[in-house]
Amino acid sequence: MTNGQLFAEAWNFEPGVIFGSAALFFGYLWVVRFRMNRKTALFGSGVLLMLLTLIGPLDFLGDNYLFSAHMMEHVLLYLAVPPLLLLGLPPAPVRSLLSIEIAAKAERFLRRPTIAWLVAVGVMWLWHLPVLYNAALKHEGIHAVEHLSVLVAGTIFFWPIFTPLQQHRLSPVVGAVYIFTAMSANMLLGILLTFAPLGYYPTYMRSSDGTGIFRLIRTVWKIDPQSDLNLGGMFMWIIGGLLYFASLMAVISRLYSDPEDWETAEKGFGDAKLQ
């Protein structure tokens, strides 16, 4: 097995993922009347990144061979895809959707910073408990739920920050605290994974499966089970931290782009409690 062979063959063209991604993007195009602009490009980039993450070599390696690949997959689904999708949403269709009472009630509840924070951080921590993580690797249905819940949790988390309805966004100061505390929780998870002892995730401790892929990983890439575990934790810790930091900078930049935000920043703490 060579690098070229691996990356040519390590694709899982799951019909459900492909159909779901296509339906999401073409549904979006229909809603925006097929207008092509910056928002369309952002939303399309989010859908494409989601699709490649779920059907490409990263998913194949993460499911069977590398803990670090699975961690990168989670980071992308949780911290990269949702902001792109949300930044691509135009206000008008969101406003129309929220004219439906049940949708409006759900949105009001889920955009409360405490609720959104607990849902998002809780989902990430829960799925890395060995009992749930290993179950997801063994059962495709649980694995699908894992990826879907990580994606939904990321979307819920970033909604109060990047919702297209500006009046529903957290104030910059509250938003900065919101992101910083979640970033800290994510980095703590990454640190714990980086220095965790071997044995929690036995799937990745094998040395052969008859395909030659483990031989490539162990002898050519020089990734043994311990370094794989360390690398996976560092992806969560460092790359995840950088993506959080990018969102944090986007929130802080609002203070400089709109001088009125300086006057309402402190008031935002009180408003957040009411949302």
Q: Given this model, what pLDDT does residue 211 score?
A: 80
The token duo for 29 is 């195009």
* CA-to-CA separations, 167 to 171, 237, 239, in angstroms, rounded: 9, 32, 31
d(CA 224, CA 204): 9
d(CA 256, CA 200): 46
For residue 14, with 0-12 CB atoms within 10 Å meaning exposed, 13-18 middle and 19 or more buried, which class applies?
middle
- The predicted-structure confidence for 132-147, as pLDDT tens digits, reads as follows 999 999 999 999 999 9
Number of Cβ atoms within 10 Å of the Cβ of 38:
9
- The predicted-structure confidence for 204-261, as pLDDT tens digits, reads as follows 987 777 788 988 998 899 999 999 999 999 999 999 999 999 999 999 888 776 555 5
Phi, psi of 113 (to 5 degrees): -60, -35
Q: Block means of pLDDT (10 residues each) for the chain, length 275 residues?
A: 87 93 96 92 98 95 94 97 97 94 96 96 96 94 96 97 94 93 96 90 82 88 94 95 95 73 48 47
pTM of the model: 0.90
